[in-house]
Amino acid sequence: CRESILDGLKRTTDMMFGGKQVVVCGYGEVGKGCCAALKAMGSVVYVTEIDPICALQACMDGFRLVKLNEVIRQVDIVITCTGNKNVVTREHLDRMKNGCIVCNMGHSNTEIDVASLRTPELTWERVRSQVDHVIWPDGKRIVLLAEGRLLNLSCSTVPTFVLS
């Protein structure tokens, strides 16, 4: 995860990470790797976690524990890695700032409620392979990577020995 999150984000967004505010949803093994990689690149990393042990580990590792609703309006990147369904809901997506990047590193394709974005009021614009802009009527855009599927499998190079 430490390598594939950065590889996937760089391949899809051409973004520099220094100073970017990132919220990582979940602090299991995948979340820990994502947080470590982004922190090392100079990002300000927040963590959401419902398991008290994992939450304590995040705090002990120097990450600020938050609720997603507290930071959703200010973050530049939202990364899910929980294995749960609808971690990022339509309500969250509606409240994100313009240009926010949303991606999934978790265990399933259902962590981001992508189905709720397929409505007549929202416009989808394919920017390039694995990168969509979802455009609200007021012009706000969010950048959805890999249509909410697993970024590390869709958009990055993962060594074959890791996959086997």
The residues near 82 (Cβ < 8 Å, ≥ 6 apart) are: 25, 26, 28, 31, 106, 107, 111
Q: Evaluate if residue 160 carries a pLDDT over 70.
A: no
Could you tell me how far CA 21 lies from the centroid of its own chain?
Answer: 11
pLDDT band at 122 (very low <50, low <70, confident <90, very high): very high
Report the CATH number that the domain containing residue 13 is assigned in CATH: 3.40.50.720
Number of domains into which the chain is organized: 1
Q: Write out the residue range of the structural domain in which residue 76 sits.
A: 1-158
Assigned domain for 163 exists? no
Tell me: the pLDDT tens digits for 9-53? Answer: 998 998 999 999 999 999 999 999 999 999 999 999 999 999 999
Q: Is residue 68 part of a domain?
A: yes
For residue 164, tell me if it sits in a domain.
no
User: With contact defined as beta carbons under 8 Å apart, do 102 and 111 qualify?
Assistant: no
What pLDDT does 152 receive? 76
Least confident of 25-29, 90-94, 151-155: 151-155
pLDDT tier, 162 (very low <50, low <70, confident <90, very high otherwise): low
